[in-house]
Chains A and B, each alone.
Chain A
Amino acid sequence: MPDPLSQVFAALADPTRRDIVARLCAGDATVGELAAPYDVSLQAVSKHLKVLEGAGLVTRGRDAQRRPVHLEAEVFDLMTKWIERYRREAEMRYQRLDAVLAEMNDHHHADPTDATGRPARSEQGETA
């Protein structure tokens, strides 16, 4: 049995399901409304929704007639957090690059070997 996180990734690996999720960000919708833009059957859309439901990404309303599909926003808050974390890691890397570049400027007229080969990792941590 796949772990829950893998189920989320697998569910979102399909472009139609990603699109359905994107549209549900705007609000709940019925299966018929979700199926309208696609050249596929209601059954095919229902199948996609079952996968999303299985991964905990969407739930179905209680209303017996419409059973609107609802996006579980909490899961997406989490994904936004992951992306933000990834971005912050990149930003930290780039702040170290800022320090390297600043030093290259300082040593602009010096022998290039002066500006390199410094094991300045701890110093960079303070400047970053």
Chain B
Amino acid sequence: MTTTTTADGTTTIEAPNELPVIRMTREFAATPAQLFRAHTEPELFVRWTGPDGYEVTVDQWDPRTGGSYRYLVGTGDDQNAFRGCFHTVREDRLVQTFTWEGVPDGVALDTITFEEIEPGRTRVATLSLVESFEIRDMILSSGMEVGVNDGYARLDAMLAAGDV
């Protein structure tokens, strides 16, 4: 579809035309070991993952190569479950599958790497591979379902006008 690198934050995102992947990078003022802990220790993980304002609860968590996980985002009726396997668990590299149980047959393969670019500064790169471009683009646009923003309002207008 397109590639975006934006200046307002430091997260860069790339959705290339050739592969159904989403690439993201972000730099952190931390060591690779700290980032590894923040990704693999459930008490730390639940504090930053998931959409803003949603409570994350770990149901099952076994961060070993060959292990698996399941966690819940939100509460009550507004709750979604995610699960997957830890395929590779290494200090500099995590490979895991990721499924939203709302679409149980869908699975992403996520590779997360922690690269120290200078002492105490680490680049986290996430590569998420899905099964088709269509699904990739749906994931990218999934924010539309939950929020109201300019793009959403504009899409409504375009749909109403028969422009799309």
Contact = CB atoms under 8 A, between A and B. Distances in A.
A90 B133 contact: no
B55 A121 contact: yes
B140 A82 contact: yes
Interface string B27-56: 011100011011001011001111111010
Of the four ranges (under 10, 10 to 19, 20 to 34, 35 or more), the interface on chain B belongs to 35 or more
B163 interface: yes
A10 to B, nearest CB: 6
Contacts of A118: 47
B38 A86 contact: no
Interface stretch (A30-38, A40-48, A60-68, A91-99): A91-99
A78 B161 CA distance: 15
A104 B34 contact: yes
B4 A80 contact: yes
A8 interface: yes
Q: Majority SS of interface residues in chain B?
A: mixed
A93 B143 CA distance: 14
Contact of B134 (A10, A87, A89, A125): A10
B163 A101 contact: no
Given A83-B2, A120-B47, A89 B38 contact: no
A120 B4 CA distance: 32
Contacts, number: 153
Given A13-B132, A18-B1, A90 B11 contact: yes
Contacts of B150: 81
A101 B134 contact: no
Interface residues of A, number: 55
Interface in B1-25: 1-2, 4, 6, 9-13, 15, 17-18, 22, 24
A126 to B, nearest CB: 12
A100 B48 contact: yes
Nearest to A85: B143
B76 interface: no
Contact of A104 (B38, B137, B147): B38
A104 B37 CA distance: 10
B17 A22 contact: yes
Interface string B121-164: 00000000000111001111111100101110011001100011
Interface string A109-124: 0000001111011001
Nearest to B30: A101
A101 B28 contact: yes
B49 A93 contact: yes
Interface of A: 4-5, 7-10, 12-15, 18-19, 22, 55-56, 72, 74-76, 78-102, 104-105, 115-118, 120-121, 124-125, 128
